[in-house]
Chains A and B, each alone.
Chain A
Amino acid sequence: MFQWMRKMRKQRRKPWQEVLVDEEGTKKVSASVKKNKQILEHAYHACADLIIRSFATKNSVENNMLIAYLGGTANVEEINEHVMKGLQSSNRPLDGLKALEQSVAITDTKKIHTFNDVFINIADGKPVLFAEGINTALSLGMSKWATRAVEDTQTEPVIRGAKEGFVESMQVNVTLLRKRIRTPRLKLKTLVIGDYSRTQVALLYIDGLCDPELLKEVKKRINGIHIDGVWDGGMVQEQIQDNQRSVFPQILTTERPDVVCASLLDGKCSLIFEGSPNTLILPTTFFAFMQSPEDYYVGYMISSLLRMLRFGFLLIALLAPAFYIAIVTFHQEMIPTTLIMAMTSMREQVPFPALVEALVMEITFEGLREAGVRLPRQVGQAISIVGALVIGQAAIQASLVSPAMVIIVSITAIASFMIPHYELSISVRILRFPLMIIAGVFGLIGVVLSVIAIIVHLASLRSFGLPYLEPLAPFKKHGAGDSIIRRRLQHQTIRPHLTGKTWNKYRRWKE
């Protein structure tokens, strides 16, 4: 059966070249400029933005040169300055590839033999230069894409620490990393995903820290993806994580270069996508989602306290409505007498059972939250006022919900915003609703059983072979100092052992 499966997979897997390129792609670069031009024009028919320019060198009568690029992707000034000028005024005869290379004043050139590569380089924004009599084309690394300037991260802001975040250009993003880790050991391998989009993906790792097996596995999983186009890491994350049905994310997403650098030094690897500011870090444990990069920049005491606080609020975000429902409908003896007296008075006019009340409020809040994301900025404020009034005041006035429920909903909302990484807070939001229903049906026992079930599930998860609850379950002594608490950096001398045999044990240079 395994053999059959393997065969099936082999059949399904097609090299991307075949899909992308038509018959022209298989053709070789010809020695005749005219012929090359014909092929290009045929392949790029109805592409108004393709610029093909034939021209002659100084000591030639006929047009013996051809340059082609996509308008807007290449640096036009540089082409004019370093290519056209040089070639048109050069006296040297172009009698071979070497002479051609020398007459072009550009560092990044590449020899191309097939039209397949020609198309790829043009798509990447690199102008391709053909010359009469030479059956090899030259790609010139002069691409220039429109990109946003490096700005503050909007989604992961910190008070202390670097403010700059990734942008939509892979090259800029890699520069941001190179700026922080200045060693040739920082390796970068490019992969391509997306049969049409041909999105470049950079796989970053540090040689000697990252396990080669892990890299192999990442590459294998990425090569298994078959998709037209990839616009964000999330589209890949969904397809390469170990348990794709789990609500919990098993790959960390970040917009911050410092987070990526720290992870790389831990022996993890990172995926940077062309066109997306979100990078993926893998393997990842549950605790990485509960940590903010700021934890390492401010004192160990406050960051330990804040981490504990975050875990407390994680429980609140997950369980507060469920506990409220369970206690109010099943375990009234648990409420202090004075409180229950106040609560009975409050609930006297509410027509719904606590479960319905809680569901209505939570769903309203989720709606408000979603609306808040989509709203144009100008009307956002108006809606938030309406939302606050609807949830807070009017609902109580209309006796639809009790004031206690409003408190529960708002503390849940606050708690869910305390989770540093958005993906985990989504998981908590999803899990909250089944928990509420279970609490309404089975009471506290149901809640406790569900929590046990969630923990069992968490313990069974793995991220690229790394147990999801790693420093605590299985317990790792040196890792535990950086989980719920953060020990002083002097004491965190041992690098976490992730997967595989490669384990550079000490956090310092060791040959």
Chain B
Amino acid sequence: MKKIMLFIMTISLFALPLNGCRDSNELEDLALVMGIGVDLTEDEHPLVSLQVFLPQGSGQSGGSQSQSKGAGGANQSFIATESGQSIGDAVNKIAKRMSRRVYLSHNAVLIISERMANHRLREVIDYCQRTQEIRQRTLLFVTREDMPKILNYESVLEKTSSISLLKEEEKHLNLITTIRDVSLMKTGPNKPIAIPVIKLRRDSYDPREQVTKIIGSALFTDEQMVGMMNSERTLGILMMNGDFRNNTFTFKPKGRKGKLSVNVQDIRIRAVPTIDRGSWELSIHLSGKGMLQENTTTLNPMNPVDCRQIEKQTAKYLASMIGKGFKQSQCVGSDVYMTYEVFERSYPHECQRARAHWATVYPNIHLSVHPQIQLMHSGASNS
């Protein structure tokens, strides 16, 4: 008996300070935040919009109704907007007026307006990193669009706009930045950050069809937006960071009529940094596989000579794509390719010395790309 009492006491002792009924939240008392938008008001105060999930009592009574509504694209969320001294203040104001507890743990995306991103990204990142409820895997986006509008648009395929944005992560076709990525990128000199930029597109064919499209990525230096890279060049960042899956590149081979579409996959990168008498050089050895998807040129992939030609042209195209993107990042001084890390591994002392004035070193790094693409699949037609 004594033993049992001691046992129960021990359990209670351990459990009591940790958790308890007072911490319980029933599901129906939560306002699930699906997405957060951060904008600036006219008088430079943060304006926060929360996309809150609207539970429609499913089950029996509204079964048929909600279905018909769903087919018509009923909005499963609503937007709550409030401005405040800081982001936390604004969220708190929303929490005060909401009947349910604002629950940020299921927030999937955080959209930052361009005005906010231009100078005050730091506030957003700080809020995200400090607030316990916000997940490290929250996706970050920058947009030029009107803030509540981009959160409030009706996605045809998904339940809410934030979920359709969340699906971007699984496609592996674009650069995706999470709060965790930003925390890691921030450790580099000059704090280079790349965040995808989204735009709301209305499809002309079906007026209901609205999509958010990633049109490129915003480049940041010292937490200030310094430029924008287009979508294809962003793929270079993915390749260099090893996040590239596959993408179809379409280009015109030199000296030929027609176009080639090659799906490039299995990209492997070996970066060789060298510092030779003060000149920093980075040579990238890139190897990958290509699947020919469309060929309107006169090149015959069954012919070994033409096949080599296609491989060479694809490799050249990739090299120029990476080179252009790199050049652009050098122009704005945002080391989103993480070259500092690459150099640091081989030249720790030099990098330590260069860290303070990396803004002057980075634009002068000479990049040479040595791509090698192997055509795996030519298609059955040999014309």
Contacts and interface: CB of A to CB of B under 8 A. Distances in A.
Residue of B14, B27, B30 with most chain A CB atoms under a 10 A cut-off: B27
A321 to B, nearest CB: 16
A141 interface: no
Contact of A346 (B32, B59, B76): B59
B15 interface: yes
A329 B32 contact: no
Nearest to B3: A460
Interface stretch (A336-344, A420-428, A465-473): A336-344
B57 A446 contact: no
A354 B24 CA distance: 10
Interface string B14-58: 110011110111111010101000000000000000000101111
A443 B27 contact: no
A73 interface: no
Contacts of A342: 58
A397 B60 contact: yes
Chain B interface SS verdict (over half): loop
A341 B158 CA distance: 12
Contacts of A445: 14-15, 18-19
A341 B53 contact: yes
A66 to B, nearest CB: 59
B98 to A, nearest CB: 15
B28 A441 contact: no
Interface in A343-368: 343-350, 353-354
Interface residues of B, number: 35
Interface stretch (B101-109, B345-353, B367-375): B101-109
B106 A332 contact: yes
Contacts of B32: 337, 340-341, 344
A342 to B, nearest CB: 8
Given A329-B25, A453-B11, A345 B60 contact: no
User: Which of B7, B19, B108, B163 has its CB near the most chain A CB atoms (within 10 A)?
Assistant: B19
Given A337-B108, A446-B15, A332 B55 contact: no
Contacts of A442: 15, 18-20
B245 interface: no
Given A340-B27, A344-B53, A396 B60 contact: yes
Contacts of A333: 105-106, 133, 135
B243 to A, nearest CB: 23
B339 to A, nearest CB: 36
A329 B56 contact: no
Given A340-B106, A354-B26, A442-B18, A453 B59 contact: no
Contacts of B21: 440-441
A268 to B, nearest CB: 29
B59 A403 contact: yes
Interface string A307-347: 00000000000000000000011101100011011111111
Contacts of B15: 442, 445-446, 449
B8 to A, nearest CB: 9
B155 to A, nearest CB: 14
A349 B18 contact: no
Nearest to B58: A345
B28 A348 contact: yes
A442 B23 CA distance: 9
B159 interface: yes
Contact of A350 (B23, B28, B133): B28
A464 B238 CA distance: 65
Contact of A345 (B23, B55, B163): B55
A399 interface: yes
B223 to A, nearest CB: 28
B103 A332 contact: yes
A349 B24 CA distance: 19
Interface string B338-382: 000000000000000000000000000000000000000000000
Nearest to B16: A442
B33 to A, nearest CB: 11
Contacts of A354: 26-27
B27 A344 contact: yes
Interface in B60-77: 60-61, 76
Contacts of A399: 59
B26 A345 contact: no
Contact of B25 (A330, A341, A343): A330
A332 B56 contact: no
B23 A341 contact: no
Contacts of B61: 349
Interface in A149-193: none
Max chain B CB contacts within 10 Å: which of A333, A341, A403, A445?
A341
Nearest to B1: A245
Given A345-B58, A441-B21, A446-B15, A337 B163 contact: yes
A215 B53 CA distance: 68
Interface in A249-289: none
Nearest to A441: B21
B168 to A, nearest CB: 15
Contacts of B11: 446, 449-450, 453
A328 B108 contact: no
B53 A441 contact: no
A347 B55 CA distance: 9
Nearest to A352: B26
A414 to B, nearest CB: 24
B59 A332 contact: no
A446 B20 CA distance: 9
B55 A348 contact: yes
B14 A347 contact: no
A387 to B, nearest CB: 20
Given A449-B14, A449-B15, A332 B25 contact: yes
A453 B7 contact: yes
A442 B59 CA distance: 30
B258 to A, nearest CB: 45
Question: Which of B18, B24, B166 has the most chain A CB atoms closer than 10 A to its own CB?
Answer: B24
Q: Which of B18, B55, B56 has the most CB of A within 10 A?
A: B55
Interface in A370-427: 396-397, 399, 403
Nearest to B56: A345
Interface string B311-353: 0000000000000000000000000000000000000000000
Contacts of B133: 333
B4 to A, nearest CB: 9
Nearest to B107: A337
Contacts of A350: 28
A375 B24 CA distance: 41
A346 B56 CA distance: 8
Contacts of B103: 332
A441 to B, nearest CB: 6
Given A332-B30, A441-B20, A453-B7, A346 B58 contact: yes
Q: Which 4 A-B pairs have the closest CB atoms?
A: A333-B105, A348-B57, A344-B55, A329-B24
18 contacts: A329-B24, A329-B25, A333-B105, A338-B163, A342-B58, A344-B27, A345-B56, A346-B58, A347-B26, A347-B27, A349-B57, A396-B59, A441-B21, A445-B14, A445-B18, A449-B14, A449-B15, A453-B7
